[in-house]
């Protein structure tokens, strides 16, 4: 790709009255393909695909098979050109720079026909999953995907400004390390003073400085009195996200004033790796502000193949859905992109902790000097850009490259392995780790994920088994074993990837498909599935516990199959996540103390089957509604072991709570419980998982009117003073395809409106598992969905994301339960 900028010499302006000027080159550019046969206008920031679509030259790139049809776009060369007049006189400025914040990817930059630069790394200022993954399409985009501008200045210019809050344990006080990078273009030293102020902390300090010509770094150390109460930043569900406004004013010679403002958050983060009694290996968990936190959440991928489509509104919608589902963490996966500033600002605001991978994934990378120089520039830039965000709690060198190397994914001969290990250490330890340790002392660094953490270091930076249950984090996928059997899951220290696929809703697929595509075996369905064997795996896992749809209507079968894949996915991830949560406080067979559960994946990049809980555009799948419950701060978890039924109480709270546990048993054929018991008052310890209840299944069945496994279901919840403290959870005593007494439930809804919220008053004629409320393409979410309805009536709220009406909802509303496909 070529960037061709033509400066017209008809300059305007009469002189300089400011310390610096910035002239944006955003907006309309001309785009031309390699042989000149195609020329069109295009927006910057943007990409070639978006420009072609906006001009009506191509369809929506996500429609049907267009990821194949439009490969020619990425295989061509493209030139971006712009002619412009600079609205100031260049000769009056000592330095004029052309700033390109992001170019995708290989490009040559010409200014007035003179080559002034080249780019080969989209993660630097001047994407790997762009070439497809098992959840996304191949759209290697080209274009100017971030801001472009001309900057002019005299005397000196503030290039970068960053800071890190540091807590001094010995002094029991907070300090702020501030770093400012200047380009001093004056031929003489530039003197002056700096004033740093945080008014709400009654803090202001003044410093004298003298800047020598050239690139200069100013380091300031701001002391905050220990007599001042500093409110710390906490993850969602653990406290407030308090921040403080800070201003920094540079008053320099020549009347030059440069002022910056920023939001400062104070928090500490520690990665604890220490021996555990009764278990070999080491712990792996995070302390925020000295408090152990169980990390609950998912893995983030780019929200779209085309970054110019990722709006502020979309980012906020997706990240709000994270906290609405009781999550506190996202892992920014190393095969995507370093997200835009607004993403991290929203995570700061919402209390979402970020596990930040560097952008290296599932590959063996070179270590020639040119590549290392590019990587070092990328890493240094991203550290400087991101380290002020309290949401980022850890840097990770790569995704799965240690495991790929040591488990020999790429069939390296044993004699060549030392060469690849040496290259691995060169890249991730001697370069990336070195830069992180030098540039950011406020958070931990690990070389890979999964990794054995401290054990990996001890083994020379690569472990014989990077996926060990006794150290670090694990990635776990198993599509063949029965996901209702919790014994197949690893009792690991931290699960940073796991999951199951499902299809997105029909209303999402309908927008990018045609009637001939609406079959699970259609060319479209097979093409859209990028995970080998994925469609068969979904049906196999669903078939273990559910009857597969067999309607004579093909469209009905397709819709029912989509529904059933979402049921399967939600139930599988629920079972696995609840296993990890209840394993936080115990050691069983020398394994346990699990302190994190991040399922794969949060969001979709297009409309296709994937592991995501949020569909493309943000619609909640059934899994996301389940996550709202299985990530609840207080949760009762039921499971069986050796024919005994157990209920554990799991708490993420900081305090102990007194409560009772209610256990009810229903038959599938009746809306009235056949038995119910309430425990004596229990004290639920804060930050622990403890056993609350156990009873042999045979005794439970006898006690409840001669129930059988096939005819009854168990539900349970925590409460205090008749107030519900937890979601109502449930336990199936048999596969639902073997359920006795299930009959087709007739479910009706009366919709009313209260302000901006809509109320759905539901009534059912029978017990209904996995009740799914759907309003088609109307954007919004329900207060609960995919639930087990064991009572005659239930009220559910709908929160629209855009203005809508009661009549629109009534026209679009559809309800499904498992009884509809049996």
By DSSP bridging, strand 256-264 and strand 244-252 are: antiparallel
- Which residues 6+ apart lie within 8 Å of 822 measured at CB? 547, 742, 744
Range 782-787 contact pairs with CB under 8 angstroms and sequence separation of 24 or more: 782/620, 782/625, 784/625, 784/628, 784/629, 785/620, 785/622, 785/625, 786/566, 786/567, 786/570, 786/622, 786/625, 786/626, 787/625
Q: What is the C-alpha to C-alpha distance for residues 545 and 736, in angstroms, rounded to an integer? A: 6
CB 585 within 8 A of CB 483: no
Residue 429 phi/psi, 5° resolution?
A: -100, -55
Crossing angle for the helix pair 554-582 and 534-543, nearest 10 degrees? 80
Residue 520 phi/psi, 5° resolution?
A: -65, -20
**Distance in Å from the first CA to the final CA of the chain:** 56
Q: Encoding tokens for residue 56?
A: 């009506």
Q: What is the largest CA-CA distance in the chain?
A: 95
The helix, strand and coil proportions of the chain, stated in percent and rounded to the nearest 5, come to 25, 35, 40
Write the burial class of residue 785 (CB in 10 Å: 0-12 exposed, 13-18 middle, 19+ buried). Answer: buried
Residue 313 to residues 143, 203, 330, 763, 801: CA-CA distances in angstroms?
A: 23, 35, 19, 35, 10
Q: Active-site residue 400, yes or no?
A: yes
Which of the following is catalytic: 378, 400, 403, 576?
Answer: 400
CB 269 within 8 A of CB 287: yes
Q: What is the C-alpha to C-alpha distance for residues 131 and 104, in angstroms, rounded to an integer? A: 13
Q: What is the C-alpha to C-alpha distance for residues 503 and 201, in angstroms, rounded to an integer? A: 51
Which of the following is catalytic: 273, 403, 497, 615?
Answer: 497
Crossing angle for the helix pair 341-350 and 312-324, nearest 10 degrees? 30
Buried b / exposed e along 675-708 (16+ C-beta atoms within 10 A): eeeeeeebebeebbbeebbebebeebbeebeebe
Q: What is the dihedral of CA 113, 118, 120, 122, to 10 degrees?
A: -80
- Could you give the residue numbers annotated as active site? 400, 497
């Amino acid at each position: 790709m070529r960037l061709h900028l033509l400066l017209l010499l008809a300059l305007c302006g009469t002189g300089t009255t400011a310390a610096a000027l910035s002239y944006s080159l955003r907006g309309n550019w001309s785009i031309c393909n390699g042989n000149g046969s195609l020329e069109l206008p295009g927006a910057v920031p943007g990409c070639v695909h978006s420009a072609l679509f906006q001009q009506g030259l191509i369809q929506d790139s996500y429609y049907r098979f267009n990821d194949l049809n439009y490969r020619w776009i990425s295989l061509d060369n493209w030139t971006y050109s712009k002619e412009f007049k600079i609205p100031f006189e260049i000769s009056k400025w000592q330095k004029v720079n052309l700033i390109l914040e992001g170019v995708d990817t290989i490009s040559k930059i010409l200014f007035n026909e003179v080559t002034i630069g080249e780019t080969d790394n989209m993660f630097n200022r001047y994407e790997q999953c762009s070439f497809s993954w098992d959840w996304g399409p191949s759209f290697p985009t080209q274009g100017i995907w971030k801001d472009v501008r001309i900057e002019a200045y005299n005397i000196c210019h503030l290039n970068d400004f960053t800071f890190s809050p540091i807590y001094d344990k010995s002094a029991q006080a907070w300090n702020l390390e501030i770093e400012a990078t200047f380009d001093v273009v004056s031929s003489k030293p530039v003197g002056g003073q700096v004033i740093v102020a945080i008014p709400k902390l009654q803090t202001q300090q003044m410093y004298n400085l003298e800047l020598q010509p050239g690139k200069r770094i100013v380091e300031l150390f701001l002391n905050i009195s220990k007599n001042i109460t500093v409110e710390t930043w906490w993850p969602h569900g653990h406290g407030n996200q308090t921040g403080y406004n800070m201003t920094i004013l540079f008053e320099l010679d020549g009347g030059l004033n440069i002022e910056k403002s920023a939001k400062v958050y104070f928090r500490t983060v520690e990665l604890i790796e220490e021996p555990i009694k009764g278990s070999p290996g080491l712990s792996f968990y995070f302390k925020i502000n000295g408090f152990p936190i169980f990390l609950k959440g998912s893995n983030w991928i780019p929200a779209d193949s085309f970054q110019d489509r990722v709006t502020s509104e979309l980012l906020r919608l997706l990240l709000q859905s994270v906290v609405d589902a009781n999550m506190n963490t996202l892992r920014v996966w190393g095969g995507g992109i370093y997200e835009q500033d607004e993403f991290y600002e929203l995570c700061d605001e919402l209390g979402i902790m970020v596990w930040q991978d560097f952008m290296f994934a599932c590959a063996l990378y070179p270590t020639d000097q040119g590549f290392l120089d590019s990587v070092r520039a990328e890493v240094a830039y991203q550290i400087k850009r991101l380290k002020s965000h309290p949401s980022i709690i850890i840097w990770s060198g790569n995704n799965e490259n240690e495991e790929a190397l040591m488990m020999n994914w790429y069939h390296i001969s044993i004699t060549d392995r030392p060469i690849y290990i040496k290259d691995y250490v060169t890249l991730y330890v001697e370069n990336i780790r070195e830069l992180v340790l030098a540039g950011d002392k406020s958070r931990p660094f690990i070389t890979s994920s999964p990794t054995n953490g401290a054990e990996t270091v001890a083994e020379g930076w690569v472990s014989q088994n990077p996926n060990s249950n006794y150290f670090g984090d694990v990635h776990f996928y198993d599509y063949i074993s029965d996901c209702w059997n919790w014994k197949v899951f690893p009792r690991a220290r931290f699960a940073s990837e796991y999951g199951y696929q499902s299809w997105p809703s029909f209303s999402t697929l309908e927008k990018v498909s045609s009637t001939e595509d609406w079959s699970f075996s259609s060319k479209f369905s097979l093409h859209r599935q990028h995970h080998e064997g994925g469609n068969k795996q979904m049906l196999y896992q669903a078939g273990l516990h559910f009857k597969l749809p067999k309607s004579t209507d093909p469209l009905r079968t397709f819709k029912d199959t989509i529904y059933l894949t979402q049921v399967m996915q939600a139930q599988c991830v629920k079972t696995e996540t609840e296993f990890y949560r209840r394993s936080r406080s115990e050691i069983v067979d020398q394994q346990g103390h699990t302190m994190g559960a991040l399922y794969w994946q949060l969001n979709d990049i297009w409309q296709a089957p994937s592991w995501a809980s949020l569909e493309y555009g943000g619609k909640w799948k059934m899994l996301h509604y389940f996550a709202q419950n299985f990530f609840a701060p207080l949760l009762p978890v039921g499971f069986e072991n050796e024919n005994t039924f157990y209920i554990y109480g799991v708490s993420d709270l900081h305090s102990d709570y007194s409560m009772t546990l209610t256990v009810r048993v229903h038959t599938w054929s009746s809306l009235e419980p056949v038995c119910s018991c309430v425990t004596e008052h229990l004290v639920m310890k804060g930050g622990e998982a403890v056993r609350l209840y156990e009873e042999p299944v045979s005794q439970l069945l006898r006690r409840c009117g001669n129930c059988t496994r096939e005819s009854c279901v168990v539900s349970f919840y925590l409460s205090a003073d008749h107030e519900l403290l937890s979601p109502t959870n449930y336990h199936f005593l048999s596969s639902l395809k073997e359920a006795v007494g299930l009959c087709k439930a007739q479910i009706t809804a009366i919709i009313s409106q209260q302000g901006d919220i809509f109320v759905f008053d539901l009534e059912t004629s029978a017990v209904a598992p996995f009740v799914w409320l759907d309003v088609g393409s109307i954007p919004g979410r329900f207060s609960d969905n995919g639930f087990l309805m064991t009572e005659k009536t239930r009220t559910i709220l709908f929160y629209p994301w855009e203005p809508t009406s009661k009549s629109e909802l009534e026209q679009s509303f559809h309800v499904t339960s498992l009884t509809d496909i049996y």
